A = this chain, B = another copy of it.
Amino acid sequence: MIESTIENTPARTDPCKAAPPAHPRPEGHDRYTISEVAAFTGLTAHTLRWYERIGLMPHVDRSHTGQRRFTNRDLDWLAFVGKLRLTGMPVADMVKYAEMVREGEHTFEARAELLQRTRRDVLERITELQDTLAVLDHKIKFYADARTASERP
């Protein structure tokens, strides 16, 4: 087990899919201000502070005057949280996951279960969306046909 308490995130070796709005992480020296992180993640500074307040962040480092200094590890975590957010997972569940991460390796099984449940939800949602796509296509075709009919009466 080479992993620390905070998990490794895939090291982002697969950027083949279009990058989200604002994620060009600079090769900075690992201490980002809150507004930099806001720019990288697309979240607002407000939301980042709120995430920390509710326990969704793993203890963010501070400068000697008390300002937040986020690390690349924090950005990885936020990227993962962003993925979970896309699944529609409630924030409360993400907090539960974050707590389990803080608690250490004995929560591996529970974490895996949570992710497997989430995985099922995602598959279900994809199916629903594909169904919806079929309905939309049907309706769109109806409107297209209506237009053709009125053009060539």
Residues of chain A touching chain B, judged by Cβ–Cβ distance below 8 Å, are 1, 3, 7-8, 10, 14, 17, 80, 83-84, 86-87, 105, 108-109, 111-112, 115-116, 118-119, 122-123, 125-140, 142-144, 146-147, 149
Contacts and interface: CB of A to CB of B under 8 A. Distances in A.
Contacts of A128: 86
A143 B83 contact: no
A118 B136 contact: yes
B7 A129 contact: no
Contacts of A125: 129
A46 to B, nearest CB: 22
Main secondary structure of the interface of A (DSSP, over half): helix
B135 A17 contact: no
A31 to B, nearest CB: 26
A118 to B, nearest CB: 6
Max count, chain B CB within 10 A of own CB: residue among A83, A105, A136? A136
A9 to B, nearest CB: 8
A4 B90 CA distance: 41
